[in-house]
Structure 1
Amino acid sequence: MDAFLKCSVCQQQFTLKGPVPYLLPCLHAVCETCVTSAAGGVISCSTCQREVNLTDTRLPTDVVRQKEIFHLTVKHRPTELLCTNDDDGNQAVCWCQECEEFLCEYCQNMHSSVKLTKKHVLQNFGSMEPTVSNFPAFCIIHKYDLLYLFDKSCKKLICARCRLDDHADHDVEELDVVADTVTKQLNHHKNELSTLQARQQSHMQNIRQGTESTDRTHNSLIETISHTFQSLRSQLDQREKELLIDLESQTKETKATLHAQLTTCEEEWKTCTGALDYIAKVLLYASKSDLVELESYVGDITRNYLETAAPQTHVVPRAVFNTNGLSTLKSNISVFGAILPREVDEESVKDKDTQTDDDLMADLEMKHKMCIEEKENTEKRASKTMDVLLGVARECGVHRLKSGVVDISMVLKCIHLKYDKGRVILDKVHINTEGDLVNRKSDTRPAGEGRLKEYRGTCSTAPLPRPGCPQYWEVVNRVSLDKPLTGRKLILEVGVCREEQRDVAHCVNARSSTCCMQVAHCPTHGGICRETWKKGKHVLCLPDTLPNTAGPSHTLHYGVVYDDARKQIVFIDVKENKVMSTLDNVDSSQPLWPMFGVYNSHLLTVSMTLVVGSDINMTEEKKAMIVKALS
């Protein structure tokens, strides 16, 4: 039962005597019942969910599936087949392909004995295999003439007499020649689709292997994370023990000091008490002469006691738990660790020259946390330490946007973008020996596939990394006009777009999910403007970018900030030191590719230099401008 085909609309099985199958544009089959009863003349294929408007589309009979149903019936349901030669209701046992008749046992014997049909090849159901019938049909107009010609103009089979009558001026070719040509085309399509299917199979295998690798990575990272935090807990426990021991030691030392002071004070108090007792006795028992004689003794002792510093009120020293840096430590712990896609080996990220910016920042943060955990470290010293560590990071183009803030969202990466030389349209633009993108065709034509066909420029060699901290790059453009521009003429473009939108037109401003900044002649303002575009819509136009006159070259310096976390893109005029435009709610659901375009070589000359990494001059003023734009 499962071997029989089903209608792609009603899911009913096709049968040999049932509704005729029709071929949909998606190559799936629909039964005649669904075609004739389609509501509103529209049917929807349940296999691929494609809708077909029957008023605009004529569906051909699916002769291939008709023959498939025929052979499936012979193979799986032979008892349903009755003799069609005499319609006597007998069970059919064989098939005559020339007569296109089912034959019972009696008719089979008669068929083989009659002179006219005894040479026909009869196929028994048990050994019957799918075969192609090449017996020509007869013309419905000229009943005894064979249809062996194909009219390309009318797209139909004709006979020789039809050729002389109504099809005399048409393009006609023999059926065998046309069939051979179509067979070659189908074999070509088959080979192409087989190659595509093999690539898809390989891709699916890679995805499955990636899933297995992801599971292994997941289990490995669980152990790594558990080990890391267990190590941190052990370190915290050890630090707690050290502090408790330190507290016990300081408490013991303080109590010993206080005990010694108490002993001294008690001895002095006893001595003073003895002197007071003796003076009291003198006053009670001594005569006047005795008083005169004892005055020097008692006076000297009293003066000695009085000259000794009198005991002061003693302030007992209290131990204090110094929590300087605790808030910073908590903040760092809250952002400690990140699950990042790794495209390099773990050993290689330890090397500064090959270390990714995200890994570098994670390393710097860990060093910063270690500094915070030191006993004498304070928040002020921690900030200075972070500045020192980031000083090393700046060699890789990493900058902290705000002093005293360790949040990774306030760390700016000057990423190392590169022009993709292999995608440049060499008859429109090229990358010169200095590495600049210029709007002149190349004198050489290096071989290679994958070049852009429409876009007048190039893209980066890789998409922007995501997620992470804000990323930044700059372009320096030297522009000179051969003559004043008119109409809407593009000069240059900088922006981002999805992978599939890199080569849909000569520029990306009109495409969805794109953001770009263009320098172009603007008919509205009558001069050269800086225009910002988002998802095909014009956002902002800033006039007076440069004079619209022929003459010496002008330098235009722009910066681009991409923040995946905030979903923002910022375009900066570096020369004017101001933000031109901030685009919010940027669609970053798919990786974005930086794009660089230069245009109209017959009207002007433009050379675009890409400035990245540590080559970018990151001033404090520029940092403050970026922070304000992102906040």
Structure 2
Amino acid sequence: MDTFPKCSVCQLQFTLKGPAPYLLPCLHAVCETCVTSAAGGVISCSTCQRKVNLTDTRLPTDVVRQKEIFHLTVKHRPTELLCTNNDDGNQALCWCQECEEFLCEYCQNMHSSFKLTRKHVLQNFSDMVPTVSNIPAFCSIHKHHLLYLFDKSCKKLICAKCRFDDHTHHEAVELDVVADTVTKQLDHRKNELSKLQSRQQSHMQSIRQGTESIHRTQNTLKETIGHTFQSLRSQLDQREKDILIDLESQTKETKSTLHARLNTCEEDWKTCTGLLDYINTILLYASKSDLVELESYVGDITRTYLETAAPESYVVPSAVFNTNSLSKLKSNISVFGAILPREVEEESVKDKDTQTDDDFIEDLEMKHKMCIKEKETTEKRASKTMDVLLGVARECGVHLLKSDVVDRSMVLKCIHLKFDKDRVNLDYVHINTEGDLVNRKSGTRPAGEGRLKKYEGTCSTAPLPQAGCPQYWEMLNRVSLDKPLTETNLILEVGVCREEQRDVHHYISKQSRSYSMAVSRCTTHGGICRQTWKEGRYVLCLPDTLPNTAGTSHTLHYGLIYDDTRKKIVFIDVKENKVIWTIDNVDPSQPLWPMFGVYNSYLLTVSMTLVVGSDINMTEEKKAIIVKALS
């Protein structure tokens, strides 16, 4: 049983009749077998890894553990105990502490009958508990004398005869006095150790809490790092796709020309090969008269082919992959995203992460005014300071639409929107592991109580704030048609609406207090168009968004601006660098919620990525388009 102590070397349990336990200097126990068979006279305690040289150290018998083993055997293995009074092999039932004997039922009765042992206290096994024995032991030298004195000089127990024989001039005290003193010392040490243990317990709890805190921080940062690098990978993947599309577009015409030339050359080669084969046949089988008759016919055909100019080698226009700034990009990646200690992190990212957008804009305005004031005397210094400010602003997703004007109306905030995962309508769509909204049911994620039940998409996690300046975000949509669209089939939809309009219908285009742009097949133009809607009314249709053919795969990149000060909403086609539609007189009195929908999974595949904050590539051309749309 696991309750029995074990040898700290061989790990075998001690038993009452087995090898005796010896006490190591580390207070762990080792069995007699391991002591006698120790290789090189050295024992290594497996519990604390301390080595003991037996040639220099005498190990005492561990009497405490012997008594512990005795009581554990009585409690857990009483059937193993036999009567030791007569050694008759009978099952023992009780224990006599004075005689130190196990007694069977017969010996128990006899023990209580004899006058000499009648007053001995017999303990039944079921009633036995660990107790301190007050019965003194007999001297090993003077067999019939009790050990009741302690020699302080020799540090050993002695009897009365020993006191007068070999310990006459030594200081000796009674055993009870020494035992009481040692007991008090042990109680004191016990209390001190208990206090130390409590402090260690508190310290361990503090370490565990710190470990849990570090674990939570690690998980949070791991999620942030994963999202950040997934976003970077998505951008790199999309950039790769765009470059491959450009490459395909550039090489398609050249490959078509080369293919036509190759077909022509192959036909000429086949004709020439046929003529050669026929001439070889003539030379093999034709008679002289046949040769004369065929010479004119074959000669004319041969001259015709020989006079035809042989095709020259075609020089293929070369193309290169522009890796300009690649080394700089690699260098930036190698130092991007270092994990900093919290105190360093808070100091180094204070301006970007702890300020609100309004505080940051006000700070930018104030420093810009200071720069303008300083420009009169230190123009170079002011320009450098402004460059630093604008660099930090771009990292925060804040851009100046006009570099020479810093006021709220000319500051564009690329806000940090998120798809609301808890409200997504899982009957039609779901958000995949990459964070994209796709037009497929979720096979694993359970639906929440607050999810949208009609609208085939999701909304943002929060409404648009009253920022007092233009707010901007983008949607990158990858669309693949499985089959041509034949009816008014909706592909995707983006826009804004009031809270109560979010889940009224499968789409928000026809809802009041909503402003949206949809991509769908148009019966008027017979193709796939971009359609705009304002407060439930159809406004505009722009044709030729993408080909309506099976297997078509295309990327649609749109941007949306909301300016509560100018009361405007603007839809932008990012790839075409043009404004799709500008809505005036938008009512900003109630919050508007960004909405995102993807549709018709049986006809096509749609994957929508939300591009926000510093992930947006804000070019000067894009700024110019936004300024013109807001003017």
Q: Give the TM-score of the pair, scaled to structure 2.
A: 0.43
